Amino acid sequence: MEPEAGPVLYQKLRVWEPSLESEEEEEISEQLIPDASGPHDSSGNKPGRLPGAWAQLVAALLLLTVSFSLAVRQLCRSGASPGALGAGAPPASGHSHRPGVYHHSAIISPAAECSHLGRELFVAGGNIVDAGVGAALCLAVVHPHTTGLGATYWGLFHNSSSGNSTALTSGPAQTLAPGLGLPSALPALHMLHTHFGRLPWPHLLVGPISLAQKGFLVDTSLASALAAQDTKGLCPLLCHANGTPLGPGTRVTNTKLAAVLHKASLAPTPELSGDALLSLLAEDLGLEGPSVGPRPTLEPALQLPVPQGILFTTPSPSAGPELLELLEASLQSPGPSPAPCPALPQAAVAPGSSVLATVDSGGSVLLLTSSLNSSFGSGHLSPSTGVLLSNLVAESAAGAWACPLIFRGISDDTEVDVLGLVASGTPAAARVTTHALLSHLARPQTPDLQGPTESPRACGQGTLLQVAAHSEHAHVSGVPSGCCPFQGV
């Protein structure tokens, strides 16, 4: 009688540890591979066992199963998952943070879809300039009451690699036609991207073009502005058929603006980005030709060394010089706590402006602020372009609302400590920013940087955005709380 085949034994799998891997594989292999010293028939098979080829196949499949099981255990221990790659998944350490703290980079803006678009540009391999410029172009579509292609832009960019800070300046306001400001948004944003962006310029306009072409939903901010505005000049884009303003949740399409953005995406240089828009505006207004004046420029930011570090802001004709004067006087005062903000005149009117900010964990920061001067600017909607023109003209205070601020702290070690502040919607942006920085410097710094402790409404009205790089993380927050959606990776 042939010997009865013995049972197949399986090694019980233990929780995976690198030191056990080789040991487990040896034990499993010893029990699955036939004993070469046992009796064989002429075909090379053991009596009563499966043919040799089948035994080898079964052994190979079992080894493959064991290897796959070990790999899955290792992935589970590291906190990784196939669907989390490139999606801002928790790090291998498994720790989490409060909202607004990210491991790589982050963006905050007044519109959820624009913050989302900025995050998508991060995921696509873009840097903070790509995300910021893309979000600014998105806001030009969905927030025509505060910004747009007819707006004037100021910006402040801190490059952590070089340690340099660069200001985007629009120069003095210029007049396109009586009561209408000369647009400079497209050449300004394209120039900023040309010098510091990473993704191709057309990539940044894909999202804004789609929003203008396919439509976007009116949010609470735009609906509130429409409700308080005389809609004459804004129809039919932002009105119902009976002339009443659109409410929240209404879908708006702006195909004329989509066409302008598409042409701008094909422009090889910043100068050419705005030329197509100016030509169409000249036709609308019956002008002989597009106005040509001083172009936006990039220049070194103003600096103010202070005991705690270095302050950077934008040059004149923005409110940057005023901001540095306020900060220097406040920091030299012996008071132990920040001075309260001075009362504003009753007649002070908040300018119509928009802000956004981006930051990465390495300490690079981009702050952008733009304005139409008042809500919906001039109220003149160009029929050929779908662009609302500003009423920032030659007599206007071009940048009294613009004073973005970046603070780079001095540290005894290699720890990055960079803070960015930008305010909007207040006639006292410099005072609001001063108060926020003094509050930041006065409180103890902790590993998890907290947001602003004082609301800018204590100094008037408006919005304050804060971004920071600290403890190898990117931090974003806004005041009042919930005013501005943020996203990150």
Q: How many CB atoms lie within 10 A of CB 209?
A: 20
- Going from the C-alpha of 432 to that of each of 238, 254, 479, 483, the distances in angstroms are 32, 35, 11, 16
Is residue 462 within 8 A of residue 348, CB to CB? The reply is no
Predicted confidence at residue 67, as pLDDT, reads 62
186: containing domain:
101-215+253-333+350-488
Mean pLDDT calculated for residue range 64-75: 56
- Domain membership flag for residue 153: yes
Confidence of residue 333 (pLDDT cuts 50, 70, 90): confident
Asked whether the predicted pLDDT for residue 310 surpasses 90, the reply is yes
> In total, how many domains does the chain have?
1
User: Is residue 315 one of the residues assigned to a domain?
Assistant: yes
Q: How far apart are CA 295 and CA 278, in angstroms?
A: 13
- What are the residues whose beta carbons fall under 8 Å from the beta carbon of 312, sequence distance 6 or more? 156, 158, 165, 301, 302, 303, 405, 406, 407, 408
Q: Tell me the three state secondary structure of residue 45.
A: coil
State percent of the chain over pLDDT 90.
Answer: 50
Q: In terms of Cα–Cα distance, which of 215, 182, 203 is closest to 133?
A: 203
Q: In this structure, is residue 474 part of a structural domain?
A: yes
Note whether residue 95 is domain-resident.
no
pLDDT band at 174 (very low <50, low <70, confident <90, very high): confident
Q: Collect contacts of 69-76 with beta carbons under 8 A, ≥24 apart.
A: 69/13, 70/13, 70/16, 70/21, 70/24, 73/15, 73/16, 74/16
Question: Above 50 in pLDDT, residue 369?
Answer: yes
User: How far is it, in rounded angstroms, from Cα 226 to Cα 250?
Assistant: 12
Residue 267 has pLDDT above 60, yes or no: yes
- pLDDT at residue 12 is higher than 70: no
Average predicted confidence (pLDDT) for the chain: 79
CB 121 within 8 A of CB 130: yes
Does 37 fall in a domain? Answer: no
- pLDDT at residue 249 tops 60: yes
Task: Tell me the average pLDDT across 251-279.
Answer: 94
Task: Tell me: pLDDT of 219 over 60.
Answer: yes
CB atoms closer than 10 angstroms to residue 38: 10
156, burial (CB in 10 Å: exposed 0-12, middle 13-18, buried 19+): buried
pLDDT average, residue stretch 347-365: 82
Helix or strand (DSSP H, E) at 440 = helix 429-442
pLDDT of residue 94: 52
Q: pTM (2 decimals)?
A: 0.78
Q: Is the pLDDT assigned to residue 460 strictly greater than 80?
A: no
88, amino acid identity: G
All residues at 6 or more sequence positions from 145 whose CB lies less than 8 Å from its CB, including other chains: 221, 222, 225, 226, 229, 352, 372, 375, 376
More confident residue, 179 or 83: 179
**How far is the C-alpha of 6 from the C-alpha of 3, rounded, in Å?**
9
- Alpha-carbon distance 159 to 152, whole Å? 23
Sorted by sequence, the CB contacts under 8 Å of residue 314 that are 6+ apart come out as 154, 155, 156, 167, 168, 169, 301, 302, 320, 399, 402, 403, 404
Q: Is the pLDDT of residue 78 over 80?
A: no
Through-space distance between the first and last CA atoms of the chain, rounded to whole angstroms: 70
Residue 51 lies in a domain: no
**Interior CA angle at 151 toward 267 and 189, to 5°?**
40
At residue 424, does pLDDT exceed 70? yes
Which amino acid belongs to residue 317?
P
Task: Establish if 484 belongs to a structural domain.
Answer: yes
Which residues on adjacent β-strands are paired with residue 422? 465
Is 259 a domain residue? yes
Asked if 367 contacts 122 with a C-beta cutoff of 8 angstroms, the reply is no
Name which of 155-159, 240-244, 414-418 the model is least confident about: 414-418
Task: Let me know the angle formed at the C-alpha of 422 by 154 and 457, rounded to the nearest 5 degrees.
Answer: 130
Report for 92-101, 208-217, 291-300, 477-486: range of highest mean pLDDT = 208-217
Q: What is the mean pLDDT of residues 75-100?
A: 46
For the record, the structure tokens of 11 come out as: 């090694």
pLDDT score of 231: 83
The pLDDT of residue 52 is: 60
* Residue among 198, 177, 220, 74 at smallest CA distance from 393: 177
